[in-house]
Every structure is written in C-alpha cells, then in structure tokens.
Chain A
Amino acid sequence: MDTRQKDIEKLKDYKYGFTTDIENIKAPKGLNEDTIKFISNIKKEPKWMLDFRLKAFERFKQLKEPNWQKPKYPKIDYQDLYYYSAPKSMKDKPKSLDELDPKLLETYNKLGIPLQEQARLNGIAVDAVFDSVSVATTFKGELTKHGIIFCSMSEAIQKHPELVKKYLGSVIPLTDHFFATLNSAVFTDGSFVYIPEGVRCPMELSTYFRINASETGQFERTLIVADKGSYVSYLEGCTAPMRDENQLHAANVELIALDDAEIKYSTVQNWYPGDENGKGGIYNFVTKRGLCKGKNSKISWTQVETGSAITWKYPSCILKGDNSIGEFYSIAITNNHQKADTGTKMIHLGKNTKSKIISKGISAGFSDMTYRGLVDIHSKAKNSSNYTQCDSLLMGNKCGAHTVPYIKNKNFDSNIAHEATTSKISEEQLHYCQQRGLNPEDAVGLIVNGFCKEVLQQLPMEFAVEAQKLVGISLEGSVG
C-alpha cells in the first residue's frame, strides 16, 4: 500500500484529521509570566485583565496536578507547550468575511461549517475558534437587533468590559483547581454571550473549536450570561487533526442564569481520539460549570462525547436560586484505547430545586469509561429532589465500565433517587435485527441509538442527526 492510499485509509476513520497549512504566530514555548504578558499584549487587553491572569498564575504555581481520576496519563510538561497560536492573517483582525484568509474559510467548509451566512441552511450563528483565536462570528447583525451580544471573548473584553468584569470568574473562581486556574492564567479566546432581559434568542448560537497547530494547548474561555427571563440555546462542536502526540485542551465554560432565565448548552465533542493503538489524541480536561443564580432559572447540559484520548470533565450546576432546575444528559462513547472519566455535579443550595441526571456510557475495544457524579443537597435546600440514572453498555471483555456516584443528603425534606445498570447487547436483540435484514454493524448501531435515545432527544434537530451518525461511526469495527 503506498502512502497516499494509507492516508486515505486513515481519513476514513477520522474524517476531520486533516491539517490546514497556514502560517502561525506563536507565543514563545513555555509557561511563565512573560508568556502571559505576551498573550495579554497581543490581544491589547486592559490592565485589569492582565492582573486577573497574573493573579491566577500566582495561584497556579502553588497548585498540584490532581491524580485521583481513573484514566492515568503520562506527565504533561507544561513548559514544553505553546500557549498561544494564531493564523498570521488574524493579526490585524479582518473586518468582514471577505477579508478572511481563504484557507481558513476552506477549512471550515471542509468541516461542514460554512461561515458565509447565505450558505447556512437555517439560522445558526457561529463563532469559529481556530487554535487560540476566534476567526469569525456570523449573523451578528441579526443578533444585534435583539440586543444580544455574541462575540469572541477578546472582543468582549474590549467592548463590554463591565459585563466581563462582573461575571468572569464568578462561577469558576481563579482559585478553583489546577486546570481551571491554568486556564484563567493563559486563556486565549472563546465566546461571549449576553442575552438581555426578556429576550428569547431567535436562533441557535454555536461555537466551533478547531485545534490545528501542533504542540499547542488550547485554552479557551466561554462565558454565557442570560439576564432575567431570557432564553438561549448554545451548541459547541470540536475537532482536531490527527497527530501522534497528545494535545491538551483545557477550557473553562461559565454559565450564569438570572431570574426566570434558561440556558441550554449542547456539546458534540469529536476531538481526535488517537489511533487504534492509543497513540496520539487530545486530552480533554475541561471545566464546565453553570450557576442558577436567580429564582426559577434553569440550566441544561447535553453532551455527546465520542472523541478525545482522555475525556475528564464534569459539567456541573450550582442551584442557588429557589425553584431552579439543573439537568444533565450525556452520552459518552469510548472505543479502542480511549478513556473517559465524566459525569456531573449537582449542588442544591436553594429551596425547591430539582435536578435530573441521565448518563449513558458505551465502551468498546480496550477502552475504559467511568461515570463519576456528585449530588449534594445542603441543609437549606428544602424540598428539593434529584433523579439520577446511569446506564452502561459493554462491548467485549477487554473494556471497562465504572460507576462512582457520590450522594450526600443533608436535608430531610428532599428526595434522592439513583439507579445504575450495566449490561451488554443481548444475542436475542442482535438476532432479531439481523433476521430482518440488517447487517451486524447496522444492528448494533440501531440498538445503541435506542439505548441513547433519551439523550439524543435533548439535542437540537441538526445536531441530533449529526450525533446519531457519530455514534455509529465511533463504534465501527467494534463488532464481530
């Protein structure tokens, strides 16, 4: 087989594995105050932002990398990473899409995310993040009409400092934990969303993350604020080229819902998972946390995790406002040598708060999957309730599925119910489907989709179709 053919073979497995050949500006390798100053400087940030970063860095120096997680990984050398990488053409920010480097446009077209507005089928506003910077945000005009702010984080720091100052770090404080603090020190870009009082966002907002440069860590920061009585649905997608090295992705996502507001956050994560021998792939160590600050607010997380060599994240909800609701729907699929340790935290602080957790884990090949969750009902959270269901599906006896829920109840008015099951696809089910003319792979796909249905239903239409396909692709080769 010649190399070209091999490449084609490879691409069949992970179709987003290509690299865009583009000139980059990078920060000097290594993590120190100068790197942070470099990032802050190149983004022309005000002083308060630099202080924020330096304060986080001070704290970071005292922190130790956690190691309680199930998937172990070789030690990361934080001095051997680039903390900033941006396409050269982005140095002077293009004013419109016409000025954008055609290579970038092409990349996004290849990924199935056309940035030209007319090319979009229906209204989804996209913020495209390439390595360390946001390259384009679509449908700005339409959104501005409603008073909605949807832009890159860097732009928000320049144009809306009062909002950023008020909310940045209010859910994930500077001092939180190792990776979150690292992000606070070196974050490069991300999305900022503000929905004003009483506005129902007319379209889905979305961010598309792409890692392109090698030896680069991606640290983006997303902040979504839904003011009183507003509603927003936000989607996030991610891909990266295929490389033999492991790349670090440590993002922070903060959601804030004020009185009567609702935020729906959906993720389809398809980072490069490494090859079938477990070489390469992204380390996806993300901190996602939502704060239901106001009364009757609601935050709902939906995630489809199919990529990454190691996924280690717990999208959480802090239910502070009375009557607030937190939801978490998750499908996590691991194949080959992938590892995942994911779940959620529901912290009940306010009265009558409710939370619901539905988690579906599927492991195949040599992979390891852990659901780890915390339900913590504080003594003041009167009359609150939680329902948790986590199911695991195993394919083959080389993989593992684990469930580690922590349940703390300090309130006698509250109800907590938790159930978990582990099973495999039964011979009868397979036989039934094959009898009706499906080949084994399609049959497994169908059964798995049925297993995940409760979660897939939560996704917006376009994403649901995509996710359903992804579930099928991720499990290819795990049957028989």
Chain B
Amino acid sequence: MTEQLELDFNKIAKKLDISEKDIKLKRKFLEKFMKNGFPNKKQENWKFLDINQIIKKSIRNLSFYNDYSLPNKIDSSIFVDGLEHNKIIFINGRIEKIDFNYEDKNKIEISDEIEKKITFDNENSLIDLNNAFTNKAFKIVIKENYSLKKPLIIYHSTNEKTKSKNVNLRLDFDLEKNSSLRLIDFFTDKSAKNFSNILYSFNLKKDSILKNFKVDNFKNDNLKYSFNNIEQDSNSISETFILSAGSNFFKNEVNCNLNGEFSSAFVNGVFSLRENQQHEIRTTINHLVENTKSYQLIKSVLGKNSKAAYQGKIFVNSKAQKTDGYQLSKAILLDETSEFNVKPELEIYADDVKCSHGSASGSLNENSIFYLMSRGLSYKQSKELLINGFLLDVVEKITDSEIKNLIKNMIGLKE
C-alpha cells in the first residue's frame, strides 16, 4: 500500500495548484499516515468494526489518486425536490458548484485557505489521510447576526471514475455571533466500491445555532467515514441528526467540545440496516465548563447479517459543575444473524452533575404484533408499523419542521 500511496500522492501534488510549503505540510501528514496505516480493531475506537479488514474485503486494492483538475458533469436529477435550498455539490471530492442564491451575499464569506489548523484528536490516522489528500479546503463564514433563510444542502456524489478509490474532502464552517445554519448532507452515489473520508470542522461563536443532518438513505456498496468536530462557545446550540442506512459501511464520528457556559449539544441517530451492512456512530461530548448540556438518542433496527455499533462518551471536566448529560440507545434485532454492540461511557470528574445513560436491545415484542394482527393487520404490516413507530421517535426530535417533514418523506415514515 505504501508504494501506491507514494505514487498517488506525487501525482496529486503535481496537479494541485498549491505552494511548495503546503505540499511539504501535506507530505508530513502522508508520512504519519503511512506509519500508522488504516485503523484496526486493536485500537479501542475501532474495536467493533475494523475498517482495515473491511477495506481489504470489499475493495481489495485501494488507490488514492483523484484528478481534481477536470470538472464533472452535474446530474440535476439528484437535487431534492419540494424544498428551496442553497447548494454545494461535491463530485468525486471536487467542489463543482457553490450556490447561495437565496442569501445575502455580503453575509457569507467563502475562502479557500489551504492552511488548516488541526487542534483536535490528532491520533486518528484517517484524519491524517484526509489532510494529505484533500483538494482545496473551503471555509465558509456566516457573518454576525445572520441566519440563512434557506437550508444548505451539500450533495456528496461519486461516479465510475472513483471505483476502488479513496475520496477525501473537507469543509470548515465558522458561525459568528448569533448566526445560524441548517446544513443537510445528502449522499447520492452513482458508483460502486469507493471509500469517502469526510472531515468537517465547525466553530460556533456565542449564541449561534448549527443544525446538521446527515442523510445516507440510498442503498450503495461504498464505504464512508465522516468526522465532525464542533467547538462551541457560550450559549451556542448544535444539533446533529444522522440517518445511517444506505452505505455498505458508514462510521460517523462527532466530537463536540462545549467550551462556553450554557452551550448545548444534541446528537440523534437512526440505524436502519439491511443485509450485510456495517454501521457505527461514535460520539464524544466534552463538558468543559459549568452549566452545559448534552442529549443523545440512538435507535437501530437491524436486518439480516447487519452489524451496528454505538460508542458514546460523555466526559465531564472537574470544572464543569451542573452538567446535564443524557444518553440512550435502543436496538431491535430482526434476525438471528444481526448484531448490536454498545459502549456507552461516562468519565466524570465533577460531583454536582446529572449524568445518565441507558441501553436496551432485543427483538420485536410478539405481544404487540399479536395486538395489531388481531385488529386486522397482516404480520408484515404490524411489523412495519412497530418499526416505524420505534424510529419515528428519533425523527420527531428534529427541531426544524421543514426538514423533519423532508426526512420523514424520504424514509417513508408517516405519522
């Protein structure tokens, strides 16, 4: 693999329009990645799903080269109907279009600074990989007191060119004081067997609000990894919703630092897995100052041969008195071959806190099915009704009604 990495890196370095210094920086990350390689199950964070094995099994020979110089054709059929929105379109890791037509242009600043500061969890070799191979990374700044009128949808799309390839992309967002952003990540894959590695970094200033929805709903056999780093100032709110259903492998990581008082973080997730899918959500919420709040709810429905894992950690610093942390995960296993692994973790160093977690897993309640069937529903219908009700609980947590309806329609949930 080392040779392949070296080869592909040189090709990219030649094509990219960046300075010598930046290439050097990128090379540093490449060397770090080459030293550590892909994470494997010996690492605590990758204990349940071993990405090294998964890549070997489903892609075999992974290569890293992407030609970012040529534009790709945008297929407008992927656009979401029935919701006016701003767009960013990624195709094969290249930004094809940034469109803020509905917004005041003076209030949004887009820059493509290459110099990136990485202040978080640098022990993650996938982040090194991302840093080494990303194209220009854009930074989007939402100016003070501005709320985007319409949500922003980021389309993640790939085509045949990326078969057996790794695609890396990165976006940075700064939300200045009292601003707000609704962001939907929408995954539409037109190709097979690639591995995308997505890194977002959010910086939330005082009183700002971020709502991020990740929608992976279309069945495909690609692998995905996404890492969100969220820094929160006082009184800011972040809400992350993850619908994890389409890809063959998808691991979502959310690392949230509550740096300011009265800030709060919400993470809600749904796993709806069918045959052979392996998905994971890993969250780390760091309560670093007084009076912060976090809430997490993860629900999973697991079909044949599927495997889901949830690792959630609540960390409470000794200064962070009056912390309120809550975490709940529930799973329904539909088949003998499905598997659910959880590691809900509390690490607490302050005494005046309210922290709890709960986890439950089991099969569908036969009595409930009997109840519904005795009222005239078929077995299949009753099962669907129960599962929908189970998952609807998480979708109902979405605080934005427009997007809530959009997501409900997408996954066919009805009230």
Contacts and interface: CB of A to CB of B under 8 A. Distances in A.
B345 to A, nearest CB: 5
A140 interface: no
Contact of B351 (A379, A399, A407, A417): A399
A400 B345 CA distance: 13
B333 A411 contact: yes
A184 to B, nearest CB: 26
A415 B361 contact: yes
Most B-side CB within 10 Å, residue of A379, A405, A409, A421: A409
Given A394-B350, A418-B360, A409 B318 contact: no
Nearest to A422: B355
B355 A412 contact: no
B350 A412 contact: no
Interface in A385-433: 392, 394-424
Given A395-B351, A403-B357, A409-B331, A414 B346 contact: no
Contact of B335 (A396, A412, A420): A412
A402 B341 CA distance: 19
A407 B343 contact: yes
Contacts of A395: 351
A416 B331 CA distance: 10
A412 B357 contact: no
Given A394-B351, A407-B359, A418 B344 contact: yes
Nearest to B347: A402
Contacts of B342: 405-407, 418
Given A402-B345, A407-B341, A417-B359, A396 B351 contact: yes
Contacts of B359: 405, 407, 416-419
Indicate the size class of the contact surface on chain A: 20 to 34
A402 B346 contact: yes
Contact of B348 (A394, A410, A415): A394
A414 to B, nearest CB: 7
Interface string B315-348: 0001001000000000101111111111111111
A343 to B, nearest CB: 12
B358 A400 contact: no
Nearest to B345: A404
Interface string B30-50: 000000000000001000000
Nearest to B363: A412
Nearest to B335: A412
Contacts of A412: 333-336, 338, 362-363
Q: Which secondary structure characterizes the binding site on chain A?
A: strand
Contacts of B321: 397
Given A394-B350, A401-B346, A408-B339, A421 B363 contact: no
Given A404-B345, A407-B359, A411-B333, A397 B339 contact: no
Contacts of A68: 44
Interface string A292-307: 0000000000000000
A416 B341 CA distance: 11
Nearest to A389: B358
Given A395-B351, A415-B362, A417-B360, A408 B341 contact: yes
A411 B335 CA distance: 8
Contact of A419 (B334, B343, B345, B358): B358
B349 interface: yes
Contacts of B339: 408-410
B353 interface: yes
Interface in A212-269: none
Contact of B358 (A394, A418, A423): A418
Contacts of A409: 331, 333, 339-341, 361
Given A403-B345, A409-B339, A421 B356 contact: yes
Contacts of B44: 68
Contact of B349 (A379, A400, A408): A400
B336 A411 contact: yes
B275 interface: no
B24 interface: no
A414 B352 CA distance: 36
Interface string A47-89: 0000000000000000000001000000000000000000000
A77 to B, nearest CB: 28
Given A402-B345, A409-B333, A419 B361 contact: no
Contact of A397 (B349, B354, B360): B349
B284 to A, nearest CB: 13
B358 A405 contact: no
Contacts of A414: 361-363
Interface in A155-194: none
Contacts of A420: 344, 346, 356-358
10 contacts: A397-B318, A401-B346, A405-B344, A407-B340, A407-B359, A409-B331, A409-B340, A416-B359, A420-B344, A423-B354
Given A407-B341, A408-B339, 17 more contacts: A394-B348, A397-B352, A399-B351, A400-B347, A402-B348, A403-B345, A405-B344, A407-B359, A409-B361, A411-B333, A415-B362, A416-B360, A417-B359, A417-B360, A418-B357, A420-B358, A421-B355
Q: Which 8 residue pairs are nearest across A and B when measured between Cβ atoms?
A: A412-B333, A394-B351, A415-B362, A403-B346, A418-B359, A407-B342, A421-B356, A424-B351
